Each structure stands twice: as C-alpha cells, then as structure tokens.
A and B are shown apart, each in its own frame.
Chain A
C-alpha cells in the first residue's frame, strides 16, 4: 500500500493542493472579518439568510456536473421561467405559500421546454458545453425581454396595472413581491440568541439534498454518471447518451427555477430585467469556492461554498472602507474575486484534463525525440 507510506507533510501538501480555493477563502475571510468590524451575531445571521437564499439554486448545478456537462451556465433559463411565473401570480393576486407553489407550477413547463432546447443545443456542441450554455443564457435573455417588455400587456393581457409600465405595455423594472415576501422563511419561525433561522426554507433545501442523494442511486442517476465518465463507453453499454444529457439539463433548469422563487421570496422584489443575469455567475462562483471542480461536485461543496463566498461578499465593502476609506473598492474586489475564482477553477480543470489526455501523446513525442 503506497498510501500508508506518505508522511504527514506529504499528506498536508496534498490536502492543500486539492483544496486551494477554499483555503484561500478561509484566509481572506479571516483577514477580512476583523477589518470589517461586524459583530459575530450579525455575520451568523447574514450567513443563515444567504444560505437559505442561495443553497437551492446552487444545488441545481449538481446534476449536469454529474452527467459530465460541466457548470450549467444555462441555469439562468430556469431563473427566467421562475420570474415569468412570479409575474403571473402577481397579476392574478395569489399570495403566500399558495402563490409560491402556483409560481413553481407555472414555471415548470417553461423550464422543461427551455431545458429541453438547451439540452439539444448542448448535444450539438459537445466538448464546449459551458461556453454554449453561457451564450444560450444571453440568447434566451433576449427572448425573455421580448416577451416581458413588449408582449406582456399588449399580446398577453396583464390586468394588474401596477405591474405595467406607464406606456401601456411591458412589465415595470421592479416588481414588488410583497405577497410572497419571506413567506417561506417565516413559515416556521425560530430565533436563537438573536439569530433568525428560517426552518421551512432549510427543510425544503434538505429535501432537495435527500432527493439528489437518492437520485444518484437510481438507474437514471447511474446512467448520468456513466455518461459523465465516458460518453462512448456509456453508449456502447446501451445508455441513450443524448437523452440522458437532455434530462440532466431539464432537471437542472427546473430546480434552478424553484431555487429562483425561493431566492426572490427572500429578497422581496423582482428586478424584472436584472435579477437573473447575475444569479448564474454567483451560484457557480459559490459552488467553486466550496471546493467543487467542473467535473466533480457534491453537497458538501454547496454549503461550504455558500458560507465562505457570501461571508466574503458581506464583509468586503466594509473591509475596503476601513482599509482604504473606499467602500467601492471592496465592491470591486468581491466582483474580481468572483470572476477570478471561476477563471482559476476552469483553468485548473482544463490543465488536469489535458494532462490526462495528452499523456499518451507526450509519450509518443518523447519516443520520437529519442529516435532523433
């Protein structure tokens, strides 16, 4: 057994290598927390808010990673479907938990359709799923704007005039979600030592975790992992590769939609044309901060990621202000870190993949060099 012979230092080195990003974030947070001057109570409260707000969205990313399709930048599609659902329930005036459920029901067929489309396009672009899903997000954003900004109120009737722009059609830039605001978070209230814990939301998130764990063991889940390992081998063993990939994207899109509804009920207002644009980036960055890679992610990564990433997010403006006297700097810093983390993770993934792929090629090249 080779493993037993590794010294402690060696093991530590390997641990650091495998967890570079989370460790870096622990360090950033450790430096930033005293600088920001926030109380521990406030920070823990913030973490619970962020956890309940974002965890569902981030969990939706796990399934496509399992199927080997990388980070699903197309999760914004689900977010847009959810927003359409929310606009409709606001129009109908359905409030509370029934409103959220109705919004989820409305968003589901839209998510399924968009996910099906996205999955088909990604099957046409194997090997560059991520950049393609990223552009699909932009493309569908255009279609979404066409529908919401021009068709709603003119072709699609909107009765609630508070939703419509003063020109007579198109939805306003911000939609007030007072009807469902904090409805789920406040369903089972719990307050321990001044910290609000949104039990109901956390239960829903736990439910999705259990579902994902169960799903991995089903036939379909196993198929997805097989496809993720090697498409050709999976095909040879009789798995319908394309179909499996499409299903994984559809599931991700639908869950992203539900996640978006939870996210927006916590925030309480819908920025009709902006809410979804950043959601994909922040979810992906958080997942990667939790130690996930493009090819491997689990539930632990999700929760670690939310805590570390959002801790950084909360403290950096104040830390920037106290350090240099400029809160703006901290804000730019956190944007930079978000993008930087994604960049570094993508690079590491590609480098590792290339190393594996080119191993044989390098051997061949070395042989040829020796021949010279």
Chain B
C-alpha cells in the first residue's frame, strides 16, 4: 500500500499533488464560507474553456524540443489581427468567429515560419529569445494598432477617427458564440459545451497528428535530435513546423478566449499572456521537453481552478484578495521548478 502511494506520488509529481490537494481543499471549504459552489464550478469550467487552447499551443514546440513557447504573444497577435479584420469587415455571429480564424491563419503561418527559422538558428537558447521575440512583436504591434487604417467605428477612437482602442467589445460580433453553442444548464451550473467541443476537436487533431509519421518524427526530434538527424529526419523543417503549429494554435486560442471574455485586448494586452499558459501546462505534469494532451487538460483545470477559487474563498475567509500574489508565486514557482530539474538539464 505504502509503495503504491509512493509510486503514485512519484508518477504524478509532488507539486501537482500539493496543488491538487489545495484546490480540493478550496472546493471543500467553499460551501462553509458562503461561496456558491454552482457559480464557482461554472466559472472554473468557463475559464478552463477560455484558456485550454492556448495551453494546447505549448504542446508541439515542447514535443520538437524547442522548449516552452514563451513567444506565444506572436501567435496571439496573429489572432488579434484576424479578430480585428473580421470585425472590420462586419461579419457577425459564428461566421465572424470563423472568419477571424481564417484571417488570422496567414499571419500565424507567416509569423510562425519566420519565428521557427529564427529559433533554428539559436538552438539551446530558445526560451530566452522566444520571450523577447514575444515582447518585441507586442511592442511593434502597439505602433501598428495606432497606424493601421481601420475604419469600423466600434473599434477606433471616437474623437480621432483612427487608431484602434485598447479594448474592443466582441458584442454583436462573436461574443459567446462557442459558449452558447449547445450549452447545458443543470440548476445553477452552466456547461459551455461548444467551447469544450471545439477544444476537444483541436485536441483530437493534435493527438492524431502526433501519431502520424510527421508527428512521431517531431517527438523523435525533441527527444534526441542527433538520432533523428541520423535516421534521415529533416530536423530544422520539423522544428519549424512545430513552431508554426504552436503559433497558429496561439492565434486560435486567443480567439476562443475573446469570444468568452467579451473583449479584444490590444496594445500591451498580450504582453504577459504566455506565462499563464506555460505554467498551466507545467502544473499539468509536462516538463521542458515532454508534454501530452492530458497534461494540458489537467494543468489548465488545476491552474484555472486555483485562480477562480482562491479569490472567492480567500475573500470570504480573511476579507482580503491575495489571489494575484498567489497566482504570481504559484505560476512562476512552477516554471522555476521545471527549469531547475536536474533531469532536464542533462539533455
């Protein structure tokens, strides 16, 4: 029995169990301190759905050995371009959402291609450079959002007639198109079925891809690039492909996020968006060079669960909101844990 427990702890990883128990404790305490469980559960599911595609975007790059995609803002920007273009053209409802994906795709492919080529030149130092590629692209787009000739009055500053606003409402365009699709209601609990189905589709495609020949090659490149090269795999091409996939998923991820959140956040909005996604997949049990779909689901649930539950429970118990601090410590602590593990260093 003891052995089994030790085995389980070893397999699941101590930090994961601690975080899991913490979340469980929060759920148990919640009803006693007057937090409504149904609302909390709805919130957790909502935020899970909002974020899981962006967390899924981490998977291909981890598989191909490019490390954690701190450059996710690049993908997010492609998504934002798609979103604003779709609104500019005046599409509404589900069409608007789909068109946003269509419009963002060429940007994501192009940006991902360049980004992938760059990362091939800097093997071993990908993560730091990815971070700064993300930052520079966000800062560059800050200028572009001001200068690009958008005209739709719901998006540009009213008095100047040009330059996009910092936040743009998706209401009337694609607000909640996935959330409300086939959504189910049990008492106070609302399940955003459409969002889950959309994620399930992408996750299934990812899973299937990883089992194709190219997908297996990607895993091989990640686990042993020299062996992969020796067995005739074009390492650089596979890595570029993984980066393109990751960037595109980042673009789709932000669109899913926006349709639920209700606002498009431009300018410095995407700046730190990579960190929650990175820590979520690490909490789910991924490491710097290993990740699965299960890691994505478990990680997003645990991370978003804590983010949702801590403020409501803490507020009721101690009447202070320390959730922001908890978020910073947990998410960055998790990234540090992953970066400093001995086994990964000896790659």
Interface hit among A16-24, A138-146, A255-263: A138-146
A142/B142 contact (C-beta < 8 A), A127-B124, A131-B127, A347-B122 known: no
A-B contact count (CB 8 A): 115
A130 to B146, CA, bound (A): 33
| Closest B residue by C-beta to A126 | B345
Q: Verify B336–A131 contact, CB threshold 8 A.
A: no
Say yes or no: is A134 at the interface (Cβ < 8 Å to chain B): yes
Say which size band chain A's interface belongs to. Answer: 35 or more
| Residues of chain A from 141 to 187 with CB closer than 8 A to chain B in the complex | 141-143, 145-146, 149-150
Say which size band chain B's interface belongs to. Answer: 35 or more
A347 to B124, CA, bound (A): 11
Interface hit among B132-140, B240-248, B252-260, B292-300: B132-140
A146/B325 contact (C-beta < 8 A), A126-B345, A139-B332, A347-B118 known: yes
| Residues of chain A from 328 to 363 with CB closer than 8 A to chain B in the complex | 328-329, 332-333, 335-336, 338-340, 342-343, 346-347, 349-351, 353-354
Q: Verify B325–A336 contact, CB threshold 8 A.
A: no
Cβ–Cβ < 8 Å partners of B340 in chain A: 121, 124-125, 132
Say yes or no: is A243 at the interface (Cβ < 8 Å to chain B): no
Interface digits, B141-170 against A, CB 8 Å rule (1 contact, 0 not)?
A: 011001100000000000000010000000
Interface digits, B304-345 against A, CB 8 Å rule (1 contact, 0 not)?
A: 000000000000000010101100110011011001111001
Task: Write the nearest CB–CB distance from A145 to chain B, whole angstroms.
Answer: 5
Task: Write the nearest CB–CB distance from A24 to chain B, whole angstroms.
Answer: 15
A332 to B335, CA, bound (A): 29
Task: Write the nearest CB–CB distance from B61 to chain A, whole angstroms.
Answer: 14
A125 to B135, CA, bound (A): 23
Say yes or no: is A105 at the interface (Cβ < 8 Å to chain B): no
| Closest A residue by C-beta to B226 | A361
Of the candidates B121, B275, B325, B339, which one forms a contact with A132 in the assembled complex, judged by CB atoms under 8 Å apart?
B339
| Residues of chain B from 258 to 280 with CB closer than 8 A to chain A in the complex | 275
Cβ–Cβ < 8 Å partners of B324 in chain A: 145
Task: Write the nearest CB–CB distance from B9 to chain A, whole angstroms.
Answer: 21
Cβ–Cβ < 8 Å partners of B146 in chain A: 326, 328-329, 332
Say yes or no: is B128 at the interface (Cβ < 8 Å to chain A): yes
Q: Verify B328–A142 contact, CB threshold 8 A.
A: yes
| Closest B residue by C-beta to A149 | B325
Say yes or no: is B131 at the interface (Cβ < 8 Å to chain A): yes
A347 to B118, CA, bound (A): 8
Say yes or no: is A128 at the interface (Cβ < 8 Å to chain B): yes
A341 to B244, CA, bound (A): 24
Say yes or no: is A233 at the interface (Cβ < 8 Å to chain B): no
Cβ–Cβ < 8 Å partners of B320 in chain A: 150
Q: Verify B136–A128 contact, CB threshold 8 A.
A: no
Q: Verify B133–A350 contact, CB threshold 8 A.
A: no
Cβ–Cβ < 8 Å partners of B123 in chain A: 350, 354
Q: Verify A336–B143 contact, CB threshold 8 A.
A: yes
| Closest B residue by C-beta to A132 | B339
Q: Verify B122–A141 contact, CB threshold 8 A.
A: no
Q: Verify B325–A134 contact, CB threshold 8 A.
A: no
Say yes or no: is B172 at the interface (Cβ < 8 Å to chain A): no
A346 to B122, CA, bound (A): 9
A167 to B142, CA, bound (A): 36
Q: Verify A125–B345 contact, CB threshold 8 A.
A: yes
Task: Write the nearest CB–CB distance from B169 to chain A, whole angstroms.
Answer: 22
Cβ–Cβ < 8 Å partners of B339 in chain A: 125, 128, 131-132, 135
Cβ–Cβ < 8 Å partners of A292 in chain B: none
Cβ–Cβ < 8 Å partners of B94 in chain A: none
Cβ–Cβ < 8 Å partners of B147 in chain A: 324, 329
Of the candidates B132, B328, B335, which one forms a contact with A145 in the assembled complex, judged by CB atoms under 8 Å apart?
B328
Of the candidates B135, B275, B325, B335, which one forms a contact with A339 in the assembled complex, judged by CB atoms under 8 Å apart?
B135
Say yes or no: is A136 at the interface (Cβ < 8 Å to chain B): yes
12 contacts between A and B (CB under 8 A): A121-B336, A128-B128, A135-B335, A146-B322, A329-B143, A329-B146, A332-B146, A333-B143, A340-B140, A343-B132, A350-B121, A350-B122
9 smallest beta-carbon distances between A and B, as pairs: A142-B328, A350-B122, A336-B139, A142-B329, A139-B332, A124-B340, A332-B142, A343-B132, A350-B125
